[in-house]
Structure 1
Amino acid sequence: MRFERLSDWLRWQEQHHPSAIELGLGRVRQVASRLDLLAPARAATKVITVAGTNGKGSAVATLAALLRAQGASVGAYTSPHLMDYNERIRVNGEPASDALICNAFAAIDACAQDISLTYFEFGTLAALWIFQQLAVDYWVLEVGLGGRLDAVNIVDADVAIITSIALDHQDWLGDDIAQIGREKAGIARAGKPLVYADAEPQASVLEAAQAAGAQCLLTGRDYTVRTFAGQCELRWGAHTLAFPEPHLPLPSVSAALVALLSLGLAINPVWVQRLGDLRVPGRFQQFTWQGRQWLLDVAHNPAACKYFAERARALDARGRTHAIVAMMADKDQAGALSELAPLVDEWFFANLPGNPRAARAEQLAALVPGSPRTLADVPAALNQALKDSRAGDSIWVLGSFFTVAAALQWLQAQGADVAPAGNN
């Protein structure tokens, strides 16, 4: 084994390949073939692939929770991680151990030989290797970037989900929303369902699904979801499911339900009633500490910030709102901040030291009116927001996984109980 410790493996992978991202399936598929990972070892195993600009993690969490409640074993692969790398590879809800991931990396390294892999490709193959080794019933795979050329797409999905289409990762996917739709629809497979949850569907997705021979299940056309008095009702064909309005995005939750129904699963109605309790860290994460109402979210593009703002408006927030933001330089910073601006009373922009992709706090501050504060890092911004706020105020933390992770680490070190309000 090249390394004994997971941290050493990850450090090496960050420098191993000439570029951090290299879209394309040739190299990773060749290594996967050597590892015999291109199809699950057991015929009974099913693969569910999830793509989309926003809402992917919520769909994966819903799928995994519902499948586990049905008694199935589940492997879930997501990215990026929030706190620990191990979060990316979960088996039956638990992160894979360092030892298991190191064994997977060693097996991949031995088979790769002269083939260079990116950090993400190593992680994807490790997830597939672990799921294969543990013979889980379902592989739930989240696309990292795009769809057609993402490493996850080397495995044929039995059902695919596209949560939404919006502009993001333009450096890799371009500024053409139609082209982005086609790229994400590349996860569709002939004769298999593709659940498309976008309320404003892109024609390019429907065309690509048809060209692939997939069975496209479109929200508002093939299945419907309506809400009333805190309850939801999903209808698809002969199926009707009633459940409490979820904390996670309803389009993602509904798409997950339709995907499972399309596989022929008889979903336990008792467990569906618990969907309202399902949470994912860093997704509209609410708690109370020091008399302030805290709200943490990894929203980092205009579409995600618009959705965040819509949900935030519905909260009973009576004090002032203080927003702490740090984000990547390659994002639409002005577009994202403009969605939040009408709700923010005071801005705190933070640097992310050591992150070469991060925007400088001064750059972000120049995009909003007034006198925003600029801070050295997220902990400094949190300290300042606490000083400038008072009991009853709201403190938001947004902009990226790195931002929310730094905030959670600091808050937990201060003794804050970051469990969502009502779930303590």
Structure 2
Amino acid sequence: MGLGRVSEVASRMGLLDLASDPSRNIITIAGTNGKGSCVATLEAMACAQGISVGAFTSPHFLHYCERIRVNGNPVDDALVCEAFEAIEQARGEISLTYFEFGTLAALEVFRRQGVSVLLLEVGLGGRLDAVNIIDSQIAVVTSIDIDHEEWLGNDREVIGAEKAGVFRAGCPAICADPNAPASIARVAAETNADLWQKGERWDWQREGNTWSWQGQTTTGEAVSVSDLVVPSLPLPSVAAALQVATLLGWPLESVVPEIAKLSLTGRAQIIQSGDIPVWLDVAHNPAAAKLLAEHLASNPVQGKTLAVMAVMADKDIDGLLSPLISQLDCWYCCSLPGNARAALANSLAQDTQRMLTATGLQQSVTICDTVASGLTQALEQAQEGDRVLVLGSFFTVAEAITALSA
């Protein structure tokens, strides 16, 4: 991992000049969970005001161009292909990873489309992620938790330092994690970034079915909104986006109405299949599973919750299962054929059964060859008042979306 190769190609293409263009605002969003939700919130706010906005996110579900959006819509294949051709001509003998190609392509598309706001979601970590070649005016860290241990380590202090690597001197650095490790403040001080920690210059509170937010402008003027509708996206990410919007000078009266409309594929998304609601959630680490469990508990059903699950083998499966297991009633453990990273259904079922035995819960565990077959079996078993939950990874949700749309 390193930024040398991708920075050199970006320099050859003139993409690093994007950061010095006064007509553009660049926001980099890092974090273990909630990055996509923060991007989606800012994207919706910009579109509501008629501000041209480009969003680079990952991974995609069904089509690569989901990763590169302009004004809320995936760009045309032709634009991405033209960007890839430009990268190929510029790189010469320099090798690039899949994600580095994608990052450069997004920047090239955004430059050609002349967008005013660039929203760049970090793929992994922050300090050495390809999007960090561009200096942003505002950086956001949504959350710091354990994930991608083989690359980032298994310590929140170390992980926090990696994510804070997107901070820039003299620029706002917004941290939405209420229990941020000390490394966030340390890196902010070392880089001379202007740290905006939750609970200090900005904050939010939930009160039942509504929530409120308080923040500041760049001149220190206090602003607040209350009695907001709770969206389907995680509030820490939405609240951080509100502070970004305030720093950009966006009028809250224009952007706040967009919050109630927010939704995002695979984040507590509900698709109706006949009489049965199917919840889709990409939760794949303990922190995301905890948030999902809380969401399930606050939205109970009269009947059962049937879980269809496929997970990457390198994930903390026990940590994923632990907060959810008491919220669910039966399990369909699935393989993802063709995905070398995925845990096999047999192994996943064994882990699930072990957790059930340890907690004394009596729940059925079914082994399925694919997510589609697991979803079919769950829907056949489900009765009125039940719901089906699909979880475990972006790949899992993508398979379920394909099956549901067939």
* TM-score between both structures, scaled by the size of structure 1: 0.90
Q: Which amino acid aligns with 2:329?
A: D
Bigger drift between 34-43 and 399-408 goes to: 34-43
Question: Of 83, 88, 109, which residue of structure 2 is paired with 1:104?
Answer: 83
Shift of 1:122: 0.2
Shift of 1:229: 4.6
Matched, 1:314 2:293: no
In 2, are the aligned partners of 1:195 and 1:218 still within 8 Å (CA)? yes
Secondary structure at 1:348's aligned position in 2? strand
Please list, as runs of the form range in 1=range in 2, the aligned pairs for 1:234-383 lying within 5 A after superposition.
234-237=213-216, 238-242=222-226, 243-263=228-248, 265-368=249-352, 369=356, 370-383=363-376
| 2:402 aligns with one of 393, 406, 409 | 409
Please, which moves more after superposition, 222-231 or 398-407?
A: 222-231
CA drift of 1:270 comes to: 4.2
Q: Answer yes or no: is 1:35 the counterpart of 2:13.
A: yes
Displacement after TM superposition at 1:222 (Å): 1.7
Trace 1:132-281 onto structure 2 (pairs within 5 A): 132-237=111-216, 238-242=222-226, 243-263=228-248, 265-281=249-265
Verify: 1:26 aligned to 2:4, yes or no: yes
CA distance in 2, matches of 1:267, 1:82: 33
Mean Cα deviation higher: 372-381 or 239-248: 239-248
The 8 Å contact of residues 172 and 196 in structure 2, kept in 1 or not, is answered as yes
1:310-337: CA deviation from partner (whole Å, max 9, x where unpaired): 0110113110111000010111011101
1:371 offset after TM fit, Å? 4.0
- Three-state SS of the structure 2 residue aligned to 1:367 is helix
Specify the SS of the correspondent of 1:175. coil
Equivalent residue number for residue 382 of structure 2: 389
Structure 1 stretch displaced more, 288-297 or 188-197: 288-297
* 2:32–2:145 CA contact under 8 A, matched in 1: yes
Which consecutive residues of structure 1, in runs of 5 or more, have no partner in the other structure? 1-22, 414-424
**Aligned partner (choices 51, 58, 61) of residue 40 of structure 2:** 61
Aligned to 1:156, the other structure's residue is in SS state coil
Secondary structure, aligned partner of 2:119: strand
Deviations, residues 355-377 of structure 1 (Å, cap 9, x unaligned): 00100111111112354111000
CA contact under 8 A between 1:57 and 1:142: conserved in structure 2?
A: yes
One-letter code aligned to 2:231: P
Distance in 2 between the 1:45 and 1:270 partners? 20
Which stretches of structure 1, 4 residues or longer, exceed 4 Å deviation after superposition? none
How far, CA to CA, are the matches of 1:37 and 1:396 in structure 2?
42
Q: Which amino acid aligns with 2:203?
A: T
| Equivalent position amino acid for 2:13 in 1 | L
Contact kept, 8 Å, 2:141 with 2:176, in 1: the verdict is yes
* 1:387 CA displacement: 2.0
Going from structure 1 to structure 2, the CA distance change for 1:352 and 1:217 (only over 3 Å counts) comes to same
Query: How far 1:224 moved relative to its partner?
Result: 1.5
Structure 2, unmatched stretches of 5+, are: 217-221, 357-362
Report Cα offsets for 1:198-255 as digits up to 9, x if no partner: 0211111111111111111111122111223533221113111233222211100010
- Write the distance in 2 (CA, Å) between the matches of 1:373 and 1:228: 39
Q: Secondary structure at the residue paired with 1:38?
A: helix
The RMSD of aligned alpha carbons is 1.2
Q: What amino acid maps onto 1:249 in structure 2?
A: P
Cα distance in 2 for partners of 1:117, 1:239 equals 44
Compared CA separation, residues 270 and 30, structure 1 to 2 (3 A): closer
Say whether the 8 Å CA contact 1:108–1:122 is kept in structure 2.
Answer: yes
